[in-house]
């Protein structure tokens, strides 16, 4: 009779989030709460939301949303936003003028199991704004509809990628922000320069087209926020994936400040 190997242990979500919860203390610019929690197979799974308020600037706060962990088998997309927040708490000036709402664990069941899909065996990143009843999608859609973000950034890791790349959705501002982000991340991991990536035509690591049902702002939202997807190569060392994503995020914040400074003269 064959000896079966034991199942892989579930990832500990509380151990993942506890360091961030500890940073939510009096006087801290970071606040931790839950968008929702939902039951699955006898367990309650949290959908965390962290809000970081950077030092004030001469303008109204720039409201950005950052999403990670839509696919549970992409741990770098979860660890990168958490590392980004930890660095901001240590050096808040990096986010001067920003209000950042971070959703680092959008698929907690998938993350715990290290599976792409959620507990209902669905790819959550094909479910948005299509009448989905999945609790993760319902909660995130509700939050997206209630909050007027200036920009949305989603992190992923692709196990077929040869380097960092991203989706621009064919918008000029998105490309203007993604290009320097890829350039800066390219000092840590190579850029994927194939002519076709993830089944789509690509130019120097930038893709215009995209899948249907991906996480994005409500379809009728005007003005439309900028909307970027940044991908790391999942087969690369995870510490390099995290560093590349954090570097890209820092660059996007810097570049969007520059855009806003010049925008009144455009």
Among candidates 239, 229, 248, 228, which has minimal Cα distance to 75? 239
Give the C-alpha separation, 261 to 188, whole Å.
Answer: 29
> 159-205, pLDDT tens digit by residue?
999 999 999 999 999 999 999 999 999 999 999 999 999 999 999 99
Global pTM? Answer: 0.95
Q: Is 3 helix (H, G, I), strand (E, B) or coil?
A: coil
Angle at 119 between CA 118 and CA 123, to 5 degrees: 25
Strand partners of residue 46 = 37
Q: What local confidence, expressed as pLDDT, does residue 20 receive?
A: 86
- CB-based contacts of 140, cutoff 8 Å, min separation 6: 35, 47, 67, 103, 106, 128, 215
C-alpha dihedral sign at 231, 232, 235, 241: negative
Q: What average pLDDT does the chain have? A: 93
Going by pLDDT thresholds of 50, 70 and 90, the confidence category of residue 4 is very low
For domain 13-265, say whether CATH 3.40.630.10 is its number. Answer: yes
> 83-113, pLDDT tens digit by residue?
999 999 999 999 999 999 999 999 999 999 9
């Amino acid at each position: 009779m064959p000896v079966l190997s034991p199942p892989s242990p579930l990832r500990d979500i509380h151990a993942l989030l506890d360091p961030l919860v500890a940073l939510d203390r009096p006087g801290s610019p970071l606040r931790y709460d839950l968008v929702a929690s939902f039951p699955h197979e006898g367990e309650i799974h949290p959908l965390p939301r962290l809000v970081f308020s950077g030092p004030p600037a001469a303008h109204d706060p720039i409201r950005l949303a950052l999403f990670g962990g839509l696919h549970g088998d992409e741990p770098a997309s979860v660890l990168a936003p958490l590392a980004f927040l930890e660095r901001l708490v240590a050096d808040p000036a990096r986010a001067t003028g920003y209000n950042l709402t971070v959703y680092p664990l959008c698929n907690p069941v998938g993350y715990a199991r290290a599976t792409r899909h959620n507990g209902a065996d669905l790819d959550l990143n094909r479910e948005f704004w299509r009448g989905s009843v999945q609790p993760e999608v319902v909660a995130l859609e509700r939050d997206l509809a209630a909050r007027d973000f200036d920009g949305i950034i989603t992190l992923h890791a692709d196990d077929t990628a040869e380097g960092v790349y991203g989706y621009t959705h064919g918008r000029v501002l998105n490309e203007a922000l993604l290009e320097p982000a890829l350039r800066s991340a390219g000092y840590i991991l190579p850029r994927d320069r194939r002519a076709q990536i993830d089944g789509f035509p690509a130019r120097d690591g930038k893709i215009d087209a995209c899948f249907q049902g991906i996480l994005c702002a409500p379809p009728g939202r005007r003005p439309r926020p900028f909307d970027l997807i940044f991908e790391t190569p999942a087969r690369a060392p995870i510490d390099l994936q995290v560093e590349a994503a954090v570097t890209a995020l820092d660059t996007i914040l810097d570049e969007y400040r520059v855009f806003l400074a010049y925008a009144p003269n455009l």
